[in-house]
Amino acid sequence: MKRLLLVCGEASGEKYASLLIRELKKLDDIDFVGLGSHLLKDEIELLADYRDISVVGVKEAVPKLKRALEIYGKIKDVIDDMDGVILVDFPEFNFKVGKLAYKRKKKVVYYVAPQVWAWRSYRVRTMTKFCDKIITVFPFERAFYRNFPHHEKVFYFGHPILDVLDGKIGIHKKEDIVLLLPGSRKDEISYNLPIIFDAAKDLKKRLPKFTFVWATGGNVDVDFINTIKNKYPFVEVVEDTCRMMDISKIAIVASGTATLECAVFGLPMIIVYKISRLSYLLGRMLIRRVKDIGLPNIIAGKRIVPELIGGNATPSYIEELIVHILTNRSIYTSFKDRLSGVKSSLGKPGVSYSAASLIYNSFYS
C-alpha cells in the first residue's frame, strides 16, 4: 500500500488538501497520514489536530511550544514508513517537517507555498533545498521565484480556491445580509470578533432591514458559539460559509484566505485585522515587501478593498465604511467590478487535478 504524509495547519489549507487527496486517490490506492482537524478526519489518519498549535503571532505561540514538539515527535515516528511528504502552507511548523524529511531522504512537495514573497524571503533557499517540487497559488509568484536558484522546482497551475468554489457562485439571490467573518483560528477570533460584532451592533441600528450572520465554517467550538450568541443575540450563526458569501450583500472579514473567497464570489468587503500589539509591531518590522495585507489588494497590485489594521480597526470606522458602500450604488458596483478582476487573474478550475498529477509523478514515477 502506498502511503503519504500530509501536514496542514489551517482550515483553508484543509479545503485544498481534501480536493488534492481525492484527485490523488483517483490515480492510485494511497493512504494518507498526517496533521489536520475534523475536516480531514475521513480522508487521512490523523496524528494530531493542528488547532492545538496553530496561532497568529509571536506572543500567542509560546504556550503552544510543548504541544508542537509532541506532534513533531509523532511525525518523526512515522516518516520513515512514508513514500513522500506533502506540506500545505503552515511554514513555521512545516519547514521543520521538510528539513526532517530531507534528512530521512524522503521526497517533499510543498503545495500552497508559504508567502515568502511578503517577508523573510531568504527562506526560499531553505525551501528549495528540502523540496523536490514547490507549487505556488498566486500569479505574481512565478516572477518572484525566478530571482532565486533552483526556480525550476516551482510550478503554478492557478489557485485551488477555484476548485473549492466551482459551482457554488451565483446560484443564490442576494439578500440584505451583512456577513461576519472574524477568522478561523481561536486566537484570531478572540482579537477580531469583538471589534466586528460591536460594529455589527451599531450597524443594526442604522441598517434595520439587514440581517447579520456569522458563518463559522463548522470550525468553531460550540460552547464558544453559545457564549457569543448570548452576548450578541441579534447575530445569526450558520456553518455554510460558501452559501452565505453567495447570498450576502457585504462582508466584514478578518484578513486571510476568507478575503480571497469573498473576492471570488464578487462580495464587497471590509478587511479587519487585530492581533496583540507585540505581534503587530514585529510583523510590521518584518513585512516590508508588501504595502497591503489583504490578498485581493496584493493580487490587484493596489488597494481595491478597505483595510482597517491594528489601531484603525475600530467599530466606528467599520460602521462608517459599510454604510458608505451600501448606500452608494455606483461605489458598490465599482467594488464588484474590481473584485471580478481579481478572480479572473487566479486561473480556471482544474488546479487540484494538475497538482495531483505532478505530485504523483514526483513520488512514484
pLDDT(80) > 90: yes
* Residue 110's pLDDT band (cuts 50, 70, 90): very high
Mode of pairing for the β-strands spanning 154-156 and 177-181: unpaired
Q: Is 266 a member of any domain?
A: yes
Range of the domain at 147: 2-164+349-364
Q: What would the mean pLDDT of 136-150 be, rounded to a whole number?
A: 91
For residue 144, CA distances in Å to 94, 124, 147, 289, 355 come to: 21, 10, 6, 11, 20
Q: Is 88 a member of any domain?
A: yes
Asked if residue 145 and residue 68 are part of one domain, the reply reads yes
For residue 175, CA distances in Å to 247, 250, 267, 287, 333 come to: 6, 10, 12, 38, 16
* Residue 258's pLDDT band (cuts 50, 70, 90): very high
Read off the C-alpha cell for 220: 468553531
* Residue 61's pLDDT band (cuts 50, 70, 90): low
Handedness of CA 227, 228, 229, 232 (dihedral sign): positive
Return the CATH number at 14: 3.40.50.2000
Q: Is 52 a member of any domain?
A: yes
Asked if residue 276 and residue 336 are part of one domain, the reply reads yes
Q: What would the mean pLDDT of 320-324 be, rounded to a whole number?
A: 97
pLDDT(341) > 90: yes
Write down the pLDDT at residue 219: 78
Asked if residue 34 and residue 83 are part of one domain, the reply reads yes
DSSP string covering 8-62: --SHHHHHHHHHHHHHHHHHS-EEEEEEE-GGGTTTSEEEEEGGGT--SSHHHHG
Asked if residue 287 and residue 158 are part of one domain, the reply reads no
Give the rounded percent of residues in the chain with a pLDDT score beyond 70: 93
Q: What is the pLDDT of residues 2-59, one digit of tens each?
A: 999 999 998 889 999 999 999 999 999 999 999 999 889 999 999 999 888 875 544 4
Domain count, the chain: 2
Q: Is 172 a member of any domain?
A: no
Asked if residue 181 and residue 291 are part of one domain, the reply reads yes
pLDDT(340) > 70: yes
